[in-house]
Structure 1
Amino acid sequence: MELPLILSGPILRRVEPSLVSVWVALSKACSVQLSLFEGLAKVGDTPKFSRDTDKSDTIAIGDKLHITVVMMKLTGIDVLKPGQLYSYNLSLTEKTGGAKHDLKSLGLLQDNVLSTTPLEKRRLALGYALNQLPSFALSPDKLIDLKIIHGSCRIQVSGLTDALPWVDDLIKEKVQDPNQRIHQLLLAGDQIYADDVERRVLPQMIALGQEVLAKREFLPTNEPNGLAAKFSPADEKNFPAGMRKNLVLSETRMTTVDNHSHLLSFGEFAAMYLFAWNNEVWQPAAIKDFDDTIAEFRANYNTKVPDSVLPIFRRRDDKNQPKIADALLRRFTDCAFKTLTAEELKSAIKKKDDFDPVVRDPIDTETLQFGKLPAQGSPARTAFSKIYTFADGLTAEELGAFKNFMQQLSGDLGGLYKLAIDRGRDNCLEALKNQHKIRRAMANVPTYMMWDDHEVTDDWNLNPMWRDRVMTNPLGRACVRNGMLAFALFQGWGNDPEKYLQGKPKRLLELASTLYTATATAATQQTANDEIEQLFGLNRRTVDVTKFDDQLSWHFSVPGTRHLVLALDNRTQRNWITRGGPPTNIILGAIEKQIPAGPLPSGKEVLIVVAPLPVLGPPMFDELIAPLAYRAFDVIEAIKNGNENLRGMPGTNPDAIEAWAFDPKATESLLKRLEPYRKVVLLSGDVHYGSAQVMSYWKRTDPDTDPSRFVQFISSGFKKVLPEYLRDIDLRLSRAQQLIRAHINAERLAWNAKADVLNDKATQAVPALRARLEEEPMLLPAYGWPEGIAVKQTTPPDWSWRIKVLLDERPEFNGQPYEPDKERPEAAKPPSAGIDIVSTPSPNPSFRADFADAYRRLISRHHRSFDIMRNGRQLCIGSNLGLIHFKILKDAQNQDVLHAIQELHTVFPYELPNASEDHQPFTTHKARLTGDPSEKRPALRGQP
């Protein structure tokens, strides 16, 4: 495949009045110049700024991977202004040969069909019109005009519909209006899923990574004794797609359950980003099934046994030693991949396909035991004669190991073969359908990105047990380092590009440019990687907040015209209460480093915090669903046999235990740091549902002032839904949904130090509540106390708060022309046909047929509503994105009050009849940003 000059981009990154920056990844070394225009400009228009100082040379990461963030700095009267449109162009001059290009000459300013088979692969005009340049606008003068989209969690290939392309539609609708178009795109993590990669596409990613790095990358695996590392080329022969489960569990020691095609090499991580943001690097006609992958592996095996074949199948015990000696394991792999034909191996391990009656049952591995081998001439012996003949020559101990090996093959590979009805290939093609819209959207809105765990792996930095296991194994450490380096180059750099001009960020770019040069060897790469690991803090085994300044920081801030954005790093500045328990998502000392002291700077009206992990979950979800999920994992995982990987650790699934609610002290420290800002909007993802909560926060020192307000908006995910186990728990606990709608809220009263603050009724409290009276800080729930309990007047709480779940309170029908703020959209309305008949029944027998038909339609209405809404609109479980804006609304006292609003746009798996071309929010949440005069401070009591 001939690579395009622009591998990915342009992506508009940090934009301020004095700075415009654009990220781009190229296949050739170039000098990149940024030109800026006023208004919606077209090719041939005169730029307002086009200066030699606005150039940047790409950094050579590999022979065909050259990356830069080109910046334009403005001062004085030249600074950009709110309420105006600006456009930009890129001029690329190749370092070798001097050929010149721009967005027009590269064909990026016109719609084009690049290929038609096996599907139409398109390119869209980046400026939304022929020869029109991509454009943007600063955040507006008035907060009520500000439009921000946020979201997270995008598995690129899955059976789900993708919400991220909708960003392009929302920009297009208002592209000519600087005050109404989208002003910022805030991505809150899991922009890629390094652990959940489609095995049909991974071979292309491996090949692309090899091509752009000129096949100069090496990966380490453990020698059999686990004391040394052996380096092998990072190619598909040594690390085949679909066959990585053991590599991930036993060599990296990671814990993800999506492990058969986990990214490992830097080249693969880089290719993943290119695939996520540019459809032009895909080869849809070359998508492989696992049958193709394993056939290639067999061919490689039978011609020259790869050095890394044993790590692919080697399993280690809890002492990091191989469970099967290498010499014996080689005999087993020879049997599977030399003695057996491809069809014989497939027949032995492939799971029964209900849609293909020709496929027989796989071998019964329970017969691979001493004394249980099938007799000569039996059907089983005839069906799998080569396997049983091999087994005849094994000792009883070796036969037991062979049984485990065959079970391993069946469990790891048997379910990956192509099925009679196989939607995997269709999912790959579906992922490509709207990829071109994502590319255009990110070229036309300032885009900011923070990571969560899946940029590296599921469970990343979950707890000390995970960290110690992974970081003491060479492949595990390499995988974490490669994921972090890829994030730095493809995401982090553009968040604050000026920071990369000096100090540790600059040194990281210098080191990255030395890794894959023409003279690179495994040894030279390891020397550079050792220094990179120090910059990432991977060389430490203990947490020391005083050492965080020695490593790179990833949090950042962006000032807007009337708002301030802070993005928190929940991953690399963690602490843990116990070795296997929930994490403190930001160690207490680091909270002060990531969040400047409040209040808001002059002229700013609201603080927007990008917190990848939700700080304020729905109270019923945090109090009921998440703890139950945690306990469910305690039960399920604790009974597993063996300790070869961390999936045996009870209660360590991060989807269940990484909520801030599991560390109340850290949560209170975070809220205390944010409280002086007074009006705080938290934007989060991670949890794979959309919702909204609001907190009123009172301080003892401000008895006569309104409470500070924290509004938590969650939008997750772009292309990811709740795990099946959580959806099942949520469905079974339907009472929790009712409690949410019943306005049962979470409340807390808190004292900095332990003290005698309650009346004598406290002695009658249940033990769990009495225990809280002995802790510091003293954090007391409002509910569950004996009747008559009260706080002494002389010791009021140092602070207290109340969380309420926000509901979409728009009626189904407004009776007026549709207005998003006043009526649910068509997608959220159940069909009304037949409801009038059921609601006004008649005893007349002639109406019975009408009744029967009406009830059928009523049942259909409920079925469709459940299908659309999943569990209801208070928790939006489905692909979604959040549009944030602000509005002045009248309150109950007829006072003008500033409100923060989240519109959740949900993508449905089918087209709605007569759907409007304009996007209508499926769910709308509104929260006032000042205290409600009618709301009283929490008080202790018995019942909610």
Structure 2
Amino acid sequence: MTRQAPAPDLPLVLAGPLLRRLETRRLVLWLVASRPLEARLQLAWDDPQCGPVERELPLDASRCQRLPLGRQASLHLIDVALDEALPADSFIHYDLLVDDAGATRAIADWAPHLLYPGQRRPSFVRRGRLDHLLHGSCRKPHHPGRDGLLQADQLLQASLGQATERPALLMLSGDQIYADDVAGPMLAAIHQLIERLGLYGERLEGATVADSEALLAHPDGYYRREDLLPAYTANEELRERFFGGVKKPVFTSANAHNHLVTCAEVLAMYLLVWSPTPWRLIAPVMPALPARLAERYRREETTIRAFAADLPQVARALAQLPSLMIFDDHDITDDWNLSARWEQSAYEHPFSRRIVGNALIGYLLCQGWGNCPEAFAAELPALQALFAAPDPHQRLDAHAQDAIVQRLLRFEHWHYSLPGQPLLLVLDTRTRRWRSERYLSRPSGLMDWEALCELQHALLDEPAVVIVSPAPMFGVKLIEIIQRLFTWAGHPLLVDAENWMAHRGAAKVMLNIFRHSRTPANYVILSGDVHYSFAYDIHLRHRDRGPRIWQITSSGIKNEFPARLLDLFDRLNRWLYAPRSPLNWFTKRRTLQITPRIPSRSPRGERLWNGAGLGQVHLDAQGQPRTIRQLNADGSEPTRFESDERAAD
């Protein structure tokens, strides 16, 4: 790779390091710098028998893959295999030593915001058991209120001297970015950062704009991007066909006015949600807007500035706590793959296919790779070639980009596992759908038969498991019934009718997995997606020997459900589906006894907790939850989810 001369006013590192997958003999880090770095990884810990241990490993090509994302942006994918096991349940300190103009610079020099008071370098803990997890989803930058990831930072700071109090893992279960719902000031920041770093542009086939430069200059580029879908005839086709006469575009979010389009926009978004450093390089200016939109921009600007102000603490937590991630719809676009008809509409047109593909490229590089690097070994060479050879106008090769998009749309290894006690299984509920062959507009099952068979095989003879399903396997019955009614009426997209029970075949196979005699005795299911939080204890009726299942949902990290509407749903659900209600017999879950846990701060016995924050779960030696809490983003007392046998249905 040609060595890129750094711009004199750019920092060495733009985002990261993020601590990603952590195993006994493996350490995975993600980082974006303003040029390819010559660096060394330094590890240090105290061995009770041998005393202090220090290791220094050069980050050569075998340990670090570098991809140029632009003229002044280089992605570093660091995957270090270790000859000796990292100690369990004790602090391990690390540093990235960077050679810069003849001097060696440490993290304390180039990213002091990543250190807690008293630290000289970041630290992490490899827990011997998966007994303490943080989890959450749905982090929308322009949602009013604080960022729930600040609770992870506060927890780490409180446990600086207590290794066993550290969580084993932060699990982000979907919607880490909102590619389809972007605030005007965030989009302005994205465009400034693209220019500042020279992120590569691209040609846009089938669009009303020819390329990324024309998109940025178009008068409809802010708050009216839905009008930039393909040319009028194709646009009407995309809007109207297959949706029962309802005019609804492929990009179905009601807030898609600033939907991300280009690969550069997606990559810039990731830098701006993971790190405070890019914000110091730009000064976004409001574009020319009508008065109504200008007023909206100014309202959003206050929220976006507050979001950016909290990023130093967020970045600090992500540098010192292992994190794993999985996509959900908003990481790509709303209603992504909801039905076979949606897929047909989206992927038949080159422009909508490119938009989805660009979001997948961004997910792979900024989230997916860090979960399981070996799964993407065959995909990275093509991406490296794409970014390494832009044309003289600094645009990506369109044919090579389209070939990568086609390959990613067929890719089937986004799911992954983490060995340990208990086993962690993270499900892809977006790309391996159980599609309806007779009624293409019906919602697809969240996993197809083959994927569910693979899930069952992975569970065999495990004593306990933590399953991460972005959408809850067991949700609120009333909401699921409403979604089913809209589906029967031919409008599943209007209510995001995607839940495990929406597809008869997928629901039946999933319930049979729980009944299998060789699958685990204890299941903990972590979910997000719905913008509220709840916990259920679940038992199979007439099966005294188990299994035991806990559905634990935490959503969102920085998002909430409309309060009055959720309160209405909660009340109606309790009345209509009370334990003795005959309506329970008309659901697909009648073979299960589901006991909602009551939030400790619920004044009227509500089952659903509506507040941004981060979920926290402690597991005992058998993999059963000891405590289930929501760490509230507003800093108030954590909400505990407590058992109440009287609430069983």
Give TM-score scaled by structure 1 length: 0.60
1:695 aligned onto 2:535: no
Corresponding residue number in structure 1 for 2:154:
169
1:303-343, CA deviations, whole angstroms, 9 ceiling, x for partnerless residues?
Answer: xxxxxxxxxxxxxxxxxxxxxxxxxxxxxxxxxxxxxxxxx
Change (3 A) 1:611 1:729: closer
Q: What does 1:43-62 correspond to in 2, within 5 Å? A: 47-50=54-57, 55-62=63-70
CA contact (8 A) 1:32 1:58 kept: no
1:85 aligned onto 2:82: no
Counterparts of 1:922 and 1:471, CA distance in 2:
43
Give the SS at the match of 2:451. helix
How far the C-alpha of 1:694 sits from its partner, in A, is: 2.1
Greater displacement, 79-88 / 53-62: 53-62
1:242 aligned onto 2:101: no
Equivalent AA in structure 2 for residue 572 of structure 1: T
CA contact (8 A) 2:64 2:79 kept: yes
Corresponding residue number in structure 2 for 1:667:
507
1:202-229, CA deviations, whole angstroms, 9 ceiling, x for partnerless residues?
Answer: 1220231244345543333447xxxxx9
1:612 paired residue among 465, 470, 477: 470
Change (3 A) 1:422 1:13: closer
Give the SS at the match of 2:379. helix
Corresponding residue number in structure 1 for 2:522:
679
Give the SS at the match of 2:181. coil
Give the SS at the match of 1:669. helix
Give the SS at the match of 2:180. coil
CA contact (8 A) 1:580 1:652 kept: no
Q: What does 1:56-75 correspond to in 2, within 5 Å? A: 56-75=64-83
Counterparts of 1:273 and 1:467, CA distance in 2:
25
Question: What percent of counterpart residues are identical?
Answer: 25
Change (3 A) 1:595 1:177: farther
Q: What does 1:255-654 correspond to in 2, within 5 Å? A: 255-282=252-279, 286-289=283-286, 292-294=287-289, 346=290, 415-418=292-295, 423-500=299-376, 502=377, 504-514=378-388, 517-519=390-392, 525-537=397-409, 551-560=411-420, 562-577=421-436, 578-594=439-455, 596-601=457-462, 605-617=463-475, 621-622=476-477, 624-628=478-482, 631=485, 650-653=491-494
Unaligned runs of 5+ in 2: 1-6, 239-248
How far the C-alpha of 1:805 sits from its partner, in A, is: 1.6
Counterparts of 1:519 and 1:695, CA distance in 2:
60
How far the C-alpha of 1:177 sits from its partner, in A, is: 1.6
How far the C-alpha of 1:661 sits from its partner, in A, is: 1.6
How far the C-alpha of 1:597 sits from its partner, in A, is: 3.5
Counterparts of 2:556 and 2:589, CA distance in 1:
31
Change (3 A) 1:235 1:742: same
How far the C-alpha of 1:438 sits from its partner, in A, is: 0.7
Change (3 A) 1:506 1:177: same
2:639 paired residue among 906, 922, 939: 922
Give the SS at the match of 2:288. helix
1:127 aligned onto 2:119: no
Counterparts of 1:14 and 1:898, CA distance in 2:
23
Counterparts of 2:189 and 2:535, CA distance in 1:
40
Change (3 A) 1:230 1:479: same
CA contact (8 A) 2:20 2:324 kept: yes
Counterparts of 1:592 and 1:34, CA distance in 2:
40
1:16 aligned onto 2:23: yes
CA contact (8 A) 1:59 1:67 kept: yes
CA contact (8 A) 1:187 1:450 kept: yes
Corresponding residue number in structure 2 for 1:941:
none
Greater displacement, 586-595 / 52-61: 52-61
CA contact (8 A) 1:682 1:710 kept: yes
Change (3 A) 1:190 1:66: same
Give the SS at the match of 1:575. coil
Counterparts of 2:589 and 2:17, CA distance in 1:
50
How far the C-alpha of 1:565 sits from its partner, in A, is: 0.7
1:708 aligned onto 2:585: no
Equivalent AA in structure 1 for residue 397 of structure 2: Q
How far the C-alpha of 1:714 sits from its partner, in A, is: 0.1
Change (3 A) 1:571 1:922: same
Counterparts of 2:260 and 2:301, CA distance in 1:
20
CA contact (8 A) 2:59 2:78 kept: no
Counterparts of 1:745 and 1:17, CA distance in 2:
51
Change (3 A) 1:897 1:466: closer
How far the C-alpha of 1:517 sits from its partner, in A, is: 2.5
CA contact (8 A) 1:234 1:265 kept: no
Corresponding residue number in structure 2 for 1:874:
607
Equivalent AA in structure 1 for residue 288 of structure 2: T
Give the SS at the match of 1:584. coil
CA RMSD of aligned residues (A): 3.4
CA contact (8 A) 2:412 2:431 kept: no
How far the C-alpha of 1:178 sits from its partner, in A, is: 1.8
Change (3 A) 1:215 1:67: closer
Change (3 A) 1:732 1:747: closer
Change (3 A) 1:587 1:92: same
Counterparts of 1:478 and 1:652, CA distance in 2:
21
Change (3 A) 1:160 1:533: same
Counterparts of 1:518 and 1:131, CA distance in 2:
45
Give the SS at the match of 1:652. helix
1:32 paired residue among 22, 34, 39: 39
How far the C-alpha of 1:629 sits from its partner, in A, is: 5.0
Counterparts of 2:363 and 2:440, CA distance in 1:
27
Give TM-score scaled by structure 2 length: 0.85
1:671-716, CA deviations, whole angstroms, 9 ceiling, x for partnerless residues?
Answer: 43355122110000000110011222368xxx7x611111110000
Change (3 A) 1:133 1:476: same
Give the SS at the match of 2:459. coil
Change (3 A) 1:56 1:781: closer
Counterparts of 1:88 and 1:46, CA distance in 2:
12
Structure number with larger C-alpha Rg: 1
1:324-363, CA deviations, whole angstroms, 9 ceiling, x for partnerless residues?
Answer: xxxxxxxxxxxxxxxxxxxxxx5xxx5xxxxxxxxxxxxx
How far the C-alpha of 1:445 sits from its partner, in A, is: 0.8
Change (3 A) 1:268 1:230: closer
Equivalent AA in structure 2 for residue 628 of structure 1: I
Equivalent AA in structure 2 for residue 875 of structure 1: L
Give the SS at the match of 1:416. helix
Q: What does 1:122-161 correspond to in 2, within 5 Å? A: 124=113, 126-140=114-128, 146-161=131-146
Q: What does 1:811-850 correspond to in 2, within 5 Å? A: 828=601
How far the C-alpha of 1:536 sits from its partner, in A, is: 1.1
Higher relative contact order (CA 8 A, sep 6+): 2
Counterparts of 2:82 and 2:432, CA distance in 1:
34
Counterparts of 2:530 and 2:307, CA distance in 1:
22
CA contact (8 A) 1:128 1:172 kept: yes
Counterparts of 2:104 and 2:589, CA distance in 1:
66
How far the C-alpha of 1:36 sits from its partner, in A, is: 1.0
1:5 aligned onto 2:42: no
How far the C-alpha of 1:487 sits from its partner, in A, is: 0.3
CA contact (8 A) 1:61 1:512 kept: no
Give the SS at the match of 1:71. strand
CA contact (8 A) 1:279 1:432 kept: yes
1:240-262, CA deviations, whole angstroms, 9 ceiling, x for partnerless residues?
Answer: 22231212484884222112211
